């Protein structure tokens, strides 16, 4: 079957999974030409196989709240593709989590992980549990309960989860504790563990730092640099925080952060001291809007950052946070570079606007791969039973982001010299996974 027929079938079969279908559509815009001229790929039905998860586990999570009532949530793990390594990808705890969202994330993860050059397949999981407003004890009880079910399906050489939205170091530690208790094994079954008990240095910073390392390479490719650049960042969680930290370190000006309630606009640029306050505020699960009472700046209630004039946009919040109109605003207000810290933050209309206007646009599967890359380095440290230093790992992260950038250039450079990072990332990621599947034959 050619790619259009595969897509048409998916669109029909999964009409109720819009995020997943969107991720496949976006991928196929670049991969279809490669796929459709390759008889071997089609004879092996590679696309049908790549777009259908190997398996999906669904389970119920009972947990006791602080009032002694039993609460019930749903949990899933999508094991999408293990052609090049154990399933690997984060866990998301957010009320919006559904099979569709996890399939889109798992699908993207396959190619992102391939681009890192490390042996990791693609997977994703999570729950519709909402950590907002929960006490530490409730979070702990939920994490234990979640792992009591998930623990049956994962393993250091099988499937290695990590964090994502709503799941940070604290949650990973609780889940690891339950797995260790259930199996009596201390293995690299989760990444993002605490430093000193299996975790890797720089894992916390990796997605944000890696994003800015990638951006630096994009700027270099245009004989440009970070110095003095005005940067819009959305989100204020793990990715946004460490992206902001690296931008500040490199002499850029961070104009915004945001949360689900609105945007913080700091005209003179966020300082490191203010960023430390934001980190603590988020850890305490308190609102970003408290910032202005302490430090000044402007709170834009209910707004996203995309109407503010800047040079660079780093969407680091969540999927579909930039639509076509937002993208038009960004272009109109001078943005020349967009690098995605979140997964699929730009919708299809937005991507079209970027491409029509020659905006240098790096999709999440390339630009935010630093997080999972250091997860891969955590897995190898766990297997070796050794720890590497911060400097070594930072160097490795930088090298991996440079390699991904260069791979995107190799597969995405147009005749006029313009670099289509999206095409580069999609075609390169697909090629790596497809080659492995071809070598395996029909299994
Ligand atoms: N959730 C992150 C991502 O979207 C990291 C996954 C991992 O470290 O396994 O890539």
Q: Can you give the pLDDT at residue 285? A: 87
The pLDDT averaged over each successive group of 10 residues in the chain (443 residues) is 98 98 98 98 98 98 98 98 98 98 98 98 98 96 98 98 98 98 98 98 98 98 97 98 98 97 98 98 93 98 98 98 98 98 98 97 98 98 98 98 98 96 98 98 97
Q: In the prediction, which pLDDT does 15 show? A: 98
Q: Which residues are annotated as catalytic?
A: 124
Q: In this predicted structure, what is the pLDDT of residue 87?
A: 99
In CATH, 205-357 is 3.40.50.720:
yes
pTM: 0.98
Compute φ and ψ for 124, nearest 5 degrees. Answer: -160, 155
Known binder of ligand: residue 323? no
For residue 42 and ligand 1, the question of a CB distance below 6 A is answered with no
List, in order, residues 6 or more apart from 17 with CB less than 8 Å away. Answer: 98, 99, 100, 103, 104
User: Does 238 contact ligand 1 (Cβ within 6 A)?
Assistant: no
Residue 68 is labelled as binding a ligand: no
Question: What does the alpha-carbon distance between residue 219 and residue 228 come to, in Å, rounded to a whole number?
Answer: 13
Does domain 53-183 sit in CATH 3.40.50.10860? yes
Start and end residues for every CATH 1.10.285 domain found in the chain = 1-52+421-442
Q: State residue 284's pLDDT score.
A: 87
Q: What is the per-residue pLDDT for 367?
A: 98
Structure-token pair, residue 396: 């490795």
What does DSSP assign to residue 317?
A: S
Q: Where along the chain do the CATH 3.40.50.10860 domains lie?
A: 53-183
423 annotated binding-site participant: no
The H or E element containing residue 174 is helix 169-183
Tell me the two tokens of residue 227: 């110095």
Cβ of 90 below 6 Å from ligand 1: yes
109 labeled part of a ligand binding site: yes
The boundaries of every CATH 3.40.50.720 domain in the chain are 205-357
pLDDT by residue (tens digit) across 276-301? 999 999 988 899 999 999 999 999 99
Which CA distances in Å does 222 have to 109, 216, 277, 356?
28, 10, 34, 18
Residues belonging to the chain? 443
Question: Distance, CA 282 to ligand 1 centroid (Å)?
Answer: 19
- Report d(CA 107, CA 315) in Å as an integer: 20
Testing ligand 1's pocket by substitution, the residue of 118, 372, 378, 379 carrying the most ligand atoms inside 8 A of its CB is: 372
Residue 85 zone, left/alpha/beta (φ > 0; ψ -120 to 50; rest): left
Its CATH class, for the domain covering 1-52+421-442, is mainly alpha
| Predicted local confidence at residue 137, as pLDDT | 98
CA distance linking residue 408 with residue 400, whole number of Å? 12
123 Cβ closer than 6 Å to some ligand 1 atom: no
Distance (Å, whole) CA 302 – CA 333? 20
216 ligand 1 Cβ < 6 A: no
Dist. CA 217 → ligand 1 center (Å): 22
**Pairing state between β 312-315 and 230-234:** parallel
Task: Report yes or no: 115 and 365 within 8 Å, Cβ to Cβ.
Answer: yes
* Spatial separation of the C-alpha atoms in residues 318 and 223, rounded to whole Å: 30
Question: Is residue 197 within 8 Å of residue 353, measured between CB atoms?
Answer: no
Helices and strands, counts by H and E, the chain? 17, 12
User: What is the enclosing helix (H) or strand (E) of 9?
Assistant: helix 3-13
């Amino acid at each position: 079957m050619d790619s259009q027929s595969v897509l048409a079938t998916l669109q029909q079969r999964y009409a109720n999974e819009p995020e997943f279908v969107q991720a496949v559509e976006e991928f196929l815009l670049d991969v279809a030409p490669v796929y459709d001229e390759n008889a071997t790929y089609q004879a092996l039905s590679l696309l049908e196989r790549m777009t259908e998860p190997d398996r999906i586990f669904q389970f119920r999570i009972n947990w006791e709240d602080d009032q002694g009532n039993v609460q019930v949530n749903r949990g899933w793990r999508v094991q999408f593709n293990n052609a090049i390594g154990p399933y690997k990808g984060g866990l998301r705890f957010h009320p919006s989590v559904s099979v569709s969202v996890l399939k889109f994330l798992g699908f993207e993860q396959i190619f992102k992980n391939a681009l890192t050059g490390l042996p990791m397949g693609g997977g994703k999981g999570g729950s519709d549990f909402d950590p907002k407003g929960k006490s530490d004890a409730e979070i702990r009880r939920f994490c234990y309960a979640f792992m009591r079910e998930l623990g049956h399906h994962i393993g250091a050489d099988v499937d290695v989860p990590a964090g994502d939205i709503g799941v940070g170091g604290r949650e990973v530690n609780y889940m690891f504790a339950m797995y260790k208790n259930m199996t009596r094994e201390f293995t690299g079954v989760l990444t993002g563990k605490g430093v000193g008990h299996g975790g890797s240095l720089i894992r916390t910073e990796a997605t944000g730092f890696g994003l800015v390392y990638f951006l630096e390479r994009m700027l270099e490719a245009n004989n440009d640099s970070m110095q003095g650049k005005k940067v819009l960042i959305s989100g204020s969680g793990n990715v946004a925080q460490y992206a902001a930290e690296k931008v500040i370190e490199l002499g850029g000006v961070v104009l915004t952060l945001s949360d689900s309630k609105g945007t913080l606009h700091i005209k003179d640029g966020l300082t490191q001291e203010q960023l430390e306050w934001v980190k603590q505020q988020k850890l305490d699960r308190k609102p970003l809007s408290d910032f202005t009472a302490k430090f000044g700046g402007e709170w834009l209630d209910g707004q996203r950052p995309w109407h503010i004039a800047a040079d660079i946009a780093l969407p680091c919040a969540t999927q579909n946070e930039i639509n076509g109109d937002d993208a038009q605003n960004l272009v109109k207000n001078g943005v020349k570079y967009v690098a995605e810290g979140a997964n699929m933050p730009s919708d299809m209309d937005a991507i079209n606007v970027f491409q029509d206007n020659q905006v240098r646009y790096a999709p999440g599967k390339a630009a935010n791969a630093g997080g999972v890359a250091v997860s891969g380095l955590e897995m190898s440290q766990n297997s070796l039973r050794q720890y590497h230093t911060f400097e070594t790992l930072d160097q490795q992260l930088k090298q991996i982001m440079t390699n991904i950038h260069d791979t995107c250039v190799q597969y995405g450079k147009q005749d006029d010299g313009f670099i289509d990072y999206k095409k580069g990332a999609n075609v390169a990621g697909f090629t790596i996974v497809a080659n492995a599947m071809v070598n395996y034959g029909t299994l």
